[in-house]
Amino acid sequence: MTAKKGLKSLAESNPEFSNQQIENAVNELKIGWVAKTFTLDTAIKNNNVLTNTQKNNARLTINNQPHLNIGRYLNDMLAHTDTILDGTIIPLDDATNPTPSTFLDILQSVLSLQSTIPELLGVPASEKSRDVNDHLGTLNNKFLETEDSSLPVFTSLKESISFINANTVATDTLYQTALTNMTTFVDSVVGDSTDFQQTLDGHATEVATAATNFNTALGSEPYLTHRTRLITDNERVDVQVALEKSNLTNINTFLDNLNDYNSYTALAEDSELRKLMTRVSQNTNWITYFNEYEQNQANLNPLYTTDTDSDKSAVIDQVLSDSGLPDVTDPTDFDAVANKAKQDSRIDTRNYDRLTAEQQITDACKQLNITTANRVLLDQSRNLLNNLNQRDRDIIAAELDSNEDADTLT
């Protein structure tokens, strides 16, 4: 049931989706050298004279210490979130995705996986790296929050950046100078892109050299701990973005495959289609599923569904009661005991019509290996009745196990 309070206002307004919250958090990290890495990376990407090859080569050269080139990987992360919000992260394909995707399409697909994966694969979507944050974690404040005592990525980054920036490190100053010089040059480029390649390469090399020297200066305490954190935080961002890209770019194919499997299982409802599937499939798992489907389906009984082993005994008691069992409880009623024995599939009742009830009880005891020697008839009847009633209980327990087996994903 959908909550109606506020629904009218929601329907009459635009959600205005954006990555503003994550952008605000990124802006707080633009301190010291980090601010200059953002400025340079933006200048390179926005330049209208540089070719894509020149841009890519320059960005690659100055990224020799990626954990220090924070503006680069956070700019890339923000661009990644933009492609999620506008749907362009899912590539157009004439066969699988002929029309542009939207953010709503992405949300609906991710939601569908949260139920389809447990239903078909028997595990939470998270165990397949397909939960909500495995697709949308960057937008869902994954870098601003944690579920344990560890520092969130952006908190850790800000602490380390602030600590290093607050201390006078000569190589930091030189790195910032190199970043500023290259930014100034890139912004000044207006002519033929082939005329300044050597100068561009020279600036990129200077930035890379300054980054290496800066990184070396951070190789001892009190800076080493923070350099290590910068490296770790860089990896956490890159890994998360890569996971989201991988999951979202193929989400349609992944979901289509799961839905196809669901459709195939529906074919098992028809006996002729079951036969067909076992004849055309060359996969042993598929053949086994369709061959055993009818028996497994027959084993399913909602009365036998339990959550824990402790529930089994109660379920058996309930099924026995609903079935009118035990139907015989008085061992002195020899006729009733004999009649119950004749209904037991373990007992051969040939020629029983020639025997009295008392004789039938004795013979049934012998067939079931119940001691009769030196036992009066009442003892025989009591032991036989106990055996027969336990048999009723064992049959129901076996049916319960069969239900669990048929209802367990394998």
The torsion angles phi and psi of 264, rounded to 5 degrees, stand at -65, -40
295-332 pLDDT tens trace: 777 765 655 555 555 567 777 777 777 777 788 889 88
- DSSP characters over 337-399: HHHHHHT-TTS--TTGGGS-HHHHHHHHHHHTT---TT--HHHHHHHHHHHHHHHHHHHHHHH
Per-residue pLDDT at 271 exceeds 90: no
DSSP state of 50: S
Lookup: tokens for 308 = 């824990």
**pLDDT computed for residue 312 by the predictor:** 72
Q: Rounded to whole angstroms, how far apart are CA atoms 369 and 366?
A: 5
Q: Rounded to whole angstroms, how far apart are CA atoms 167 and 157?
A: 16
Q: Measured over all CA atoms, what is the biggest interatomic distance in the chain, rounded to whole angstroms?
A: 117
**pLDDT computed for residue 407 by the predictor:** 52
Using DSSP's 3-state secondary structure scheme, residue 218 falls into: coil
Angle value at C-alpha 387, between 384 and 393, nearest 5 degrees: 145
Q: Give the residue-averaged pLDDT of 76-101.
A: 89
DSSP state of 147: S
Peptide bond preceding 331: is omega within 30 degrees of 0, i.e. cis?
Answer: no
Q: Rounded to whole angstroms, how far apart are CA atoms 184 and 194?
A: 18
Q: Rounded to whole angstroms, how far apart are CA atoms 99 and 96?
A: 9
Whether pTM > 0.85 for this model: the answer is no
Q: Rounded to whole angstroms, how far apart are CA atoms 233 and 150?
A: 12
Q: What percent of the chain has pLDDT over 70?
A: 90
340-365 pLDDT tens trace: 889 988 999 998 989 898 999 999 89
Lookup: tokens for 113 = 């996986």
26-71 pLDDT tens trace: 999 999 999 999 999 999 999 999 999 999 999 999 999 999 999 9
Using DSSP's 3-state secondary structure scheme, residue 260 falls into: helix
**340: nearest Cα among 298, 388, 306:** 388
Helix, strand, coil proportions of the chain in percent (round to 5)?
65, 0, 30
